[in-house]
Structure 1
C-alpha cells in the first residue's frame, strides 16, 4: 500500500512538472511571437486541466496582442473559475479596462489580483506593470511604480529587470533601460529578448551599425529567434531613410529580413497584418496588395483587410476599390480607425476630384477630401509630414487654391520636417491663386495668411531671399505700400549681401524692386523715387516704366 502511495505521488509530481514545462514552452513561444503555436499549446493545457487559471490568463493575453478582445475576455473569465493562477486573470480584465479608458475599474481588478498574495510573490506586480505598458494608451510611469513594489521584494529577479527595461524604454529613460536589460540577461541568459533590446536602444539612438552588431550577437546565440529579424528589418529601413544613397539597398535588406521573421514565427492572419503594416512603412504597395489578397483568402470577414486593400488599391491606381474598401472599414463602429485611414480616404477623394483630362476640380469632392485629411491630422499631428508631396503635385498642376488648402493643414505642425518649405509654398500658392487672369477680386483674408506664412519663413531662415520678394508682392496685393516697400528693400539687402554674382542672377527682380519702391516714394519723396528709378536704368537703360516715370517727376 505504501509503495502504491509513493508511486502515485511520483506520477502526480511528474504530471505537475510536465504541465509546468508545457507552460514555460508556451511562454517561450509567446516571447518568440509564435502566437498560433502558443495558442495551440495553451488550449491543450486548458483542455487537459480546465482549472489551469494561468494558462487561461496567458491565452487571454495572446488574444489581446492579436486585438481579439472578445476571445480574450472569454478566457480571462474562464480563468477566474480555475485554481492555479486564477487571480492573474483579474490583471487581464484590468488591461481591458485600461483599453476602455476605465482606470477605476482597472485599479479594482489589479487590487483583486494582488489581494492576499504571498509576501515573496512578485509575478502579479510584473504582469500588472505589463498591463499598463500593453494598454492601448501605455502608462509607463504607473508601470514603473508597480515594478518598484516588486523590486522591494526581489530586486535581482530577471523577469522583473526585463520589465523594468521595457518600462524605462517606454518612459524614454535610455540609460536606466539599458542597465535593466543588461542585468536581466546577465541574471538569466535564456532571456534572449533582453539581449535583443540592447540593439533596439541603439537603433533608437540612430547608432545603426552598432545595433546591427548587437542583433548579430543575438543571432549567434539563437539563429531561430524570430523577433531579431523583425528588428533588423526595421533598423535597415530607418538606416536607409537616414542614408538616402543606400535607401534602395537597405530597403531590400529590410524586406528580406521581414520575410525571415515571418518564416520563423507563423503566417497567421495576425502576422500577415504586422507584415502589412511594415510594407506600408516601406511603401511597398505592390507587395502590400499581394499580402492583402492572401489575408482575404484566410479570413474574408476580418475588417482590417479592408484597410490594407484600400491603401494598396489607392497606391496602385484603383481609386474606386480604394474608396469602397476604406469607406466600408470606417463605417463599422467596432473598427479601430487610425489617423492614416482618414489620410488615405482624404487622398482618394482628392484624386477623384482632380480630373487630369479636363484639368478641372470638383469642389465638393475636393472639400470632402480636405475634411478627411483634417480629421487625420487632428488624430495624429505627425500626419502632416505626408502632405508636402500632395501639395507640391497640386502646385505643379497650377491648382494653387487647392494646393493652398493642403499646405494650410501641413503648416499646423511647427515640428514638421517640412515646416519651412510648406510655409513658403503656402504663401506662394495663395499669391498665385490671387494673380490668375480670371480673378475679379483678391481674397484679402487668404493673402494675410500668405503674409504670415512668409513671415514664418523669414523668422526661421533670414537669408531666404525669395520669401522677402513674395512677401513684398503679397503686400502689394493687400495694398499695403509701406510693408511692400519694406520687404522689397529687405530683398535687395539680402541678395546684395550674397555678392555681385547673386545680384547679377536676379537682375529682373532687382528692377521690379527698384521700380515699385520708387513708385511708392513718388508721392511722398520725389528725390528717393528718382534715386530708385535711376538704379533701374543703371541695370536697364531702356526700361520704359522708369523712363516715363522720371519724366513725370520733373
Structure 2
C-alpha cells in the first residue's frame, strides 16, 4: 500500500498483513482472516486431539503465536507438532519461519530442508507455506521473495486450484512492485473462489498502492459485501481514506474495524496507532496507556507513547518515554523514525549533541526522509556548528531540489553565524556570512521575484552588513517588499513596520526630511501607538523648527 513513514512506524511495523496459516475451508483460518486470534486458538486447540487435523492445528497455533510476537509459544507448538508426528513436514516449515523471524538464516534453511524432504516436497500446502515464509520474512530481500515465488509456483503446479497460494503469490509480486502480475494472481484466486474476501481486500491494497483510490474503495467494499463481519477490510478501507486525506471518514470507518475485531490489546493497539495517524494524539496516548497496562513491553505502544508526548508539546515526558523505550526494546526492532523522534525530543530538551547523534543515525537508515534534514541542520546550528548545518542541506540536494523553505533555513544559518562573529567583533568574518545569507535568499527572489518574504530576508541580510545604516544597503529590497506587501497590510503588518522604520531612519540620516516623514508616518498608520515612530516624528519636527 501507499505508506508514509508514520504508517510504517506504527501500523505496518506492528500489524503486518495477515499471511495464510491454514488451508482454505478451515474455520480456524477464517478466524485468523478476521483477526480473531483468540477464537482461532480455541478452534485449533480443539483439533489437537484429532489425528487427521492435529498436524495442521499445531502449525496454525504456532503461526498465530508467531504473528502476535510470542516466539516462545510459537516454538512450543511447532515442536509439539513434530513430537506428535515425526513426519510433520508442515511444522518444520513453522520452525523455519521462526528462525527467519529470529534472524537465523542457516537454521531456517535447515528447517525448510527437513520440511521438503520425503513427501513434503510433493505437498502443495508445504510448498506454499515455505514460499509464504520467504515472502513474508522480516526484512525480506528481493532474492528471498523470488525464492518464495519459485516455491509458490511449484505449489500451484501440483494444485492449480489453490486460491490461497495465488493470493500469497500476488503478495510476493506486489512486494516486488510487479503490479500487473500481482493483480493477475489475485484475479485468479477470485476465479477459483468468487467469495474469497481476502483476495478482494488484496486487490484493494494493490489499487491503493497505485493511488487508484476509487477502484480500491470498490474492492474493499466488495470484500465487506461478501463478508459484512470481515474486520480487516474495514481497517484497510479506513487506511485508504487516511491516504486520501479524509481523516474524519478514515476514523469513523476504522472504528467499525474496532467494533468488529476481537476485543484484545492487539486491537486496541491498532486503534491507538490509527488515532495517532489521524492526529488525535491525546486519544492515541490514552489508548496506548491502556494497552501498556496489560502489555507493558508492547513495542509499538511504547513507541507511540513517546511520539504522542512529543506531538502534544510535552518534550520532558516525551524524553522519559523515549529513553525508557530505547533502553528496553530489542535493538533489531528499532526503526529510523525511533532515532528521528529521539533526536527531535533531545533537541527540544536542549541536548543538541545527543540530538545530532540520533538524527544522523535516522538519516543513515533512511536518507530519503527529506523532512529530517531541516531538523538535523537546526540541531547543528543550535550547537553553533554552522558549517555542518549547511552541509546537511547540501546532502539533501542529492534527494530533492531545494525549496524556498530550504533556502530560508540555509540563509538563517548564515545569519546566525554572522551574528555570532559580529558579537565577537570579527566584522570581516561576519560580513562574509551575511553576504552568503543574502546570496542564498537571492535564490528565492530569482525564482520568485514577487515573493515578498524573499525581499524581506535579503533586506535583513544586507542591513546586517551595514549596521549603522550609512550605506542603505537594505533600501532596495525593503522598498520592493513594501511595493509587493503593501496591498495586504493586515497580513504583513509587523514586517511592513520594520521596512518603513528602516527607510524612515535611513532618510533621516541622509537629511531627507520629507522622505523620512513619509515612512515614519506610514509606521504610525500601521501602528498608531508605535513609540519609535512617535519619537522619530518629534525629532524631525524639532529639526525643521530649528531651521
Same fold (TM over 0.5): yes
Match for residue 330 of structure 1 among 318, 326, 335: 326
Question: Do residues 266 (structure 1) and 251 (structure 2) align?
Answer: no
User: Structure 2 residue aligned with 1:463, among 437, 447, 452?
Assistant: 447
Runs (5+) with no aligned partner, structure 2? 1-21, 466-472, 486-505, 511-547
How far does residue 104 in structure 1 lie from its aligned partner after superposition? 2.8
Tell me the equivalent position of 1:429. Answer: 412
- Mapped contact 1:309–1:325 kept (Cα < 8 A): yes
Aligned 1:11-160 pairs, distance under 5 A: 24-46=26-48, 52-83=54-85, 86-117=88-119, 121-139=123-141, 140-160=145-165
CA–CA separation in structure 2 for the residues paired with 1:91 and 1:119? 12
The answer to whether the Cα contact below 8 Å between 2:370 and 2:400 also exists between their aligned partners in 1 is: no
CA offsets, 1:42-71, max 9 Å, x none? Answer: 233336769923212111111221122222
Distance in structure 2 (CA, Å) of the matches to 1:147 and 1:446: 62
Structure 2 CA distance for aligned equivalents of residues 446 and 151 of structure 1: 67
Change in Cα spacing, 1:237 to 1:433, as seen in structure 2 (3 Å) is: same
Instruction: Tell me, yes or no, if the aligned pair for 1:370 and 1:406 is still in contact at 8 Å.
Output: no
In the alignment, what sits opposite 2:513?
Answer: none
Task: Give the whole-Å Cα distance in 1 for the aligned partners of 2:436 and 2:124.
Answer: 59
Other structure's SS at 1:81 match: helix
CA distance in 2, matches of 1:98, 1:414: 37
Deviates more, 1:401-410 or 1:341-350: 401-410
Distance 1:348 1:62 in 2: 36
- Alignment TM-score, normalising by the size of structure 1: 0.69
Counterparts of 1:221 and 1:464 in 2: how far apart (Å)?
A: 54
* CA drift at 1:299: 2.8
Check whether the contact 1:196–1:218 (CA below 8 A) recurs between aligned residues: yes
Structure 1 residue ranges without an equivalent (≥5): 1-19, 241-249, 354-364, 479-487, 496-500, 507-539, 545-554
Q: Is 1:291 the counterpart of 2:287 in the alignment? A: yes
The answer to whether the aligner puts 1:344 opposite 2:333 as a matched pair is no
1:376 and 1:125 map into 2 onto residues whose CA distance is: 38
Range moving further from structure 2, 86-95 or 168-177: 86-95
TM-score, scaled to structure 2: 0.70
Q: 1:399 to 1:325 in 2, by over 3 A?
A: closer
Deviation at 1:201, TM superposition (A): 1.5
CA distance in 2, matches of 1:406, 1:294: 41
Match of 2:272 in 1: 276
From 157, 161, 165, the equivalent of 2:166 is 161
Tell me if the contact between 1:52 and 1:83 (Cα under 8 Å) persists in the aligned partners: no
Q: What is the Cα deviation at residue 132 of structure 1?
A: 1.1
- Superposition deviation, residue 175 in structure 1: 0.6
Residues 137 and 221 of structure 1, relative CA distance in 2, 3 Å threshold:
same
Match in the other structure for 2:207 = 202
Question: CA–CA distance in 2 between the matches of 1:136 and 1:379?
Answer: 16
CA shift for structure 1 position 128 = 0.9
Is the Cα contact below 8 Å between 1:89 and 1:113 reproduced in 2? yes
Aligned residue for 1:509? none
For 2:228 and 2:389, how far apart are their aligned partners in 1?
Answer: 47
**CA-to-aligned-CA distance 1:64-119 (integer Å, 9 cap, x gap):** 21122222122222222122972212212212222333333222211111111267
Residue 236 of structure 1, aligned match among 225, 236, 241: 241
Q: How does 1:379-394 map to 2 (within 5 A)?
A: 379-385=365-371, 388=374
Shift of 1:415: 7.4
Task: Give the CA deviation at 1:229.
Answer: 0.5
Residue 138 of structure 1: SS of its match in structure 2?
Answer: coil
Q: What displacement does 1:188 show?
A: 1.2
Change (3 A) 1:502 1:222: same
- Residue 519 of structure 2 corresponds to none
Query: Equivalents in 2 of 1:99, 1:326: separation in Å?
Result: 25
User: Aligned pairs, how many?
Assistant: 450
Deviating more after overlay: 46-55 vs 151-160 = 46-55
Moved more, 298-307 or 409-418: 409-418
Tell me which of 376, 380, 383 is aligned to 2:362: 376
Alpha-carbon distance in 1 for matches of 2:102, 2:435 = 44
8 Å CA contact 1:385–1:417 kept in 2: the answer is: no
Cα-Cα RMSD: 4.4
Moved more, 210-219 or 76-85: 76-85
Q: Does the 8 Å CA contact 1:61/1:92 hold for their aligned counterparts? A: yes
The within-5 A match list for 1:247-258 is 250-258=246-254
Separation in 2, partners of 1:295, 1:287: 13
- Supply the distance in 2 between the matched residues of 1:172 and 1:225 (Cα, whole angstroms): 26
CA distance in 1, matches of 2:97, 2:264: 24
**Structure ranking higher on relative contact order (CA contacts 8 Å, 6+ apart):** 2
**Deviation digits for residues 19-47 of structure 1, max 9, x if unmatched?**
x9998111111122212221222233336
* 1:217 equivalenced with 2:222 (yes/no): yes
Contact kept, 8 Å, 1:120 with 1:154, in 2: the verdict is: no
